[in-house]
Structure 1
């Protein structure tokens, strides 16, 4: 494939990917000084009028959507050799398929991601567009302001508007994600076919793989998935479309209702049973909804794990079990050891450990749960900014932004594990000590560490302290 040097005013830098009908290139808009993605029809399809029309129709459908949840098209044109192209948003964080290559997402993140995708498809449906090819590689990830991330639905190459769905349809879609009616000639797929695709996508997010046929409950592959999430996803995957959710909006509403059943702290081992009511502290200000059902024991961090840690609920045997993670004769406060172990083992990641969490807490606050630094808007033992912590607290954005006095160790410490497990995935090719790269990410961003190729000089004093404490807290 010959690399074109430009498409209109846009410089073409390198190939991003190819498909059956087109290639996508990384380009640069010199007028706006901004990266763009440029989709160009394959040379061998240039003279096929039907394929050419479908290519241009995709650009027009994407333009009509005009949504931050759908890839946006800015321009359209034709190369000197006659091939059409269109210019669209560049997804600098790759695809959801690449993200899932590392395994399933944490439960709360999986449901939140699914809901965002479903809302994007619902917006397409409002415009009368049925996607027909929903799968992880067609969900793009792009950096957002403030260090966040945005999801964008892409590739409307086989999408149809509802006024054309009544015409003859041939089998189309991707195995594992396409509804039964999409496998049939003239199966007349409609919005409910996309609901099936959304169900398969959600299943993949939860379990790390697309559903088999018939689909087993996600909880059989991923213990801790609440029963109500199982039910919502399995209804989306009903072979009979009359029994499915009848719209994407209805599926999203069902997941929204059960979102609070999932805490953002699915740790390897379930916490022990909560102590008797007389030993519990009041959590009225935390607004953390407890998970229901035996399968959701892990999700009860705020009620069981946190209360148990506060009251010293374990016995001496539990304390000895923690010794394999943290030195017993260190200055780590006993009441925080369980929280630290849980945060440091929240996921399997190079560099992440309970000793790292403890070292960071020592460097951040000296284990002071009452730290308040209004000038920097940082509070608590882990120096969280409330507007950032809201994304990493149990329930995420389903719960309100915590006030400074609500930023307790029980809230702050597990959030560190969630934060590092999420952003740490960006660091896998960064040289240097992976633990210190994670620590620097906590003080800055993964993008900063990747760009610098390790810990930037301005964060060295912090990571030097972390390194010193890390050596102290690691068990012999």
Structure 2
């Protein structure tokens, strides 16, 4: 996993690029102005490190095809697709100027009526997918986007055919300011047609919102997995005080561990929510309490998996330790850092799904694309390919434009690590440290890539490795 340069492109597909909107493990999203539409658009580009992975390219292209096929106002609209000069595909789509539901949740508590309305809009969007035989499989706050109402003509005024209006301001998440806008569901990169989702399925989803059956490669994933995801969204939306009794009962059924105990699809879930309209109540603003602890308690009450609770719970401990969804990777986090991720994309696990992995950083979402954000990737693979030892593996993960220090070895937490430090890198991260170790007699590979903070001590990497616990199969 080698971070790209993160340099801002000037133009993509005839659209002038204004700024970065976000980045994830597989793609980067830019804000651009389309002179043909005379409007601002979001442009999603496949990440550089996945350009040659045919499976990831197909998953990326599938998103555009599914969105065009459904053509619902409740789903983000696709305007066009194309490829960059280096062959990476991109999607030009509608820009949700209000940000995401994740932004709204992080800004503070949401009024009960607004939370109920958002959840109903999400359910309607997912119902459009289910009607067309599509399972989303990754319904998270970051994939629910907010489109504030625009008064008057929706086409912005311009001073010429190719002259954009003033760049839009970075949206400020505010439930009252957004209230009454349109919700759209995005990021169908993990979705599958129902026919393709039957039988053996690849593990995909986000811990805390992923249905239990998505963690079992032999399970069938259908509409009820999305019902589970919507139930988890509901628990987050209603926050510390919890939903009114009628809604609480709906969310408890939606997040039942067994698929058969849930609503059969999004339409049934939406109708159950609508039936709670008469019993909605509560103050407009919730008292500001520890949201993570309250959500964890609600998850336990609704019967969610223990792994999802652990992801929420460790962040509040004085000495936080993050454990990945497989339970095979644990790491003591540096102060102010957090963990994200549910698998090593592009590297399958021996028993199906993805090899265990996580990203830790003060800002995991932007670690790959922002050179100033420190962080680390930690992966565990039971397939070592052609590597005969840790140094052999690291020989395939070099950074030729950087200055390489001599290879060294260090033993931390009963693991013998081979380490190479790259410095004076002309683009991207100024310092990159690669570390690898073989476990269980060489049957399992541990891999860590670290980009230390600017003011990190000389022992930062070794201290980080000392806090990592890896479990071989």
TM-score normalised by the chain length of structure 1:
0.52
Contact 1:108 1:259 in 2 (8 A): no
| Structure 2 CA distance for aligned equivalents of residues 164 and 145 of structure 1 | 39
Q: 1:16 to 1:250 in 2, by over 3 A?
A: same
Alpha-carbon distance, 1:12 to partner: 1.5
Q: 1:80 to 1:268 in 2, by over 3 A?
A: closer
Q: 1:267 to 1:191 in 2, by over 3 A?
A: closer
Match of 2:241 among 219, 222, 227: 222
Contact 1:24 1:38 in 2 (8 A): yes
Match of 1:22 among 19, 24, 27: 27
Query: 2:171 aligned with 1:153, yes or no?
Result: no
For the residue of structure 1 that corresponds to 2:275, the secondary structure is: helix
The within-5 A match list for 1:313-332 is none
Contact 2:80 2:92 in 1 (8 A): yes
Which structure is higher in RCO with an 8 Å CA cutoff and minimum separation 6? 2
Q: Answer with 61-70 or 19-28: which moved more.
A: 61-70
Alpha-carbon distance, 1:104 to partner: 3.2
Contact 2:100 2:146 in 1 (8 A): yes
Query: 2:103 aligned with 1:98, yes or no?
Result: yes
Alpha-carbon distance, 1:58 to partner: 0.8
Partner residue, 2:264: 246
| Structure 2 CA distance for aligned equivalents of residues 49 and 268 of structure 1 | 47
For the residue of structure 2 that corresponds to 1:145, the secondary structure is: coil
Alpha-carbon distance, 1:238 to partner: 0.5
Post-superposition CA distance 1:286-329 (Å, at most 9, x none): xxxxxxxxxxxxxxxxxxxxxxxxxxxxxxxxxxxxxxxxxxxx
| Structure 1 CA distance for aligned equivalents of residues 51 and 62 of structure 2 | 15
| Structure 1 CA distance for aligned equivalents of residues 29 and 285 of structure 2 | 39
Partner residue, 1:204: 236
Query: 2:197 aligned with 1:165, yes or no?
Result: yes
* Count of paired positions: 255
Mark the structure with the bigger radius of gyration.
Answer: 1
Q: 1:159 to 1:268 in 2, by over 3 A?
A: closer
Contact 2:28 2:46 in 1 (8 A): yes
Q: 1:267 to 1:129 in 2, by over 3 A?
A: closer
| Structure 2 CA distance for aligned equivalents of residues 65 and 104 of structure 1 | 33
Alpha-carbon distance, 1:264 to partner: 7.0
Query: 2:151 aligned with 1:142, yes or no?
Result: no
| Structure 1 CA distance for aligned equivalents of residues 60 and 223 of structure 2 | 22
Q: 1:266 to 1:38 in 2, by over 3 A?
A: closer
Which residues of structure 2 form unaligned runs of 5+?
Answer: 1-5, 152-177, 288-473
Partner residue, 2:15: 10
| Structure 2 CA distance for aligned equivalents of residues 80 and 266 of structure 1 | 51
Which residues of structure 1 form unaligned runs of 5+?
Answer: 208-220, 270-476
For the residue of structure 2 that corresponds to 1:111, the secondary structure is: helix
Whose strand fraction is larger, Structure 1's or Structure 2's? Answer: 2
Contact 1:104 1:204 in 2 (8 A): no
TM-score normalised by the chain length of structure 2:
0.52
Whose helix fraction is larger, Structure 1's or Structure 2's? Answer: 1
Query: 2:207 aligned with 1:188, yes or no?
Result: no
Alpha-carbon distance, 1:262 to partner: 1.5
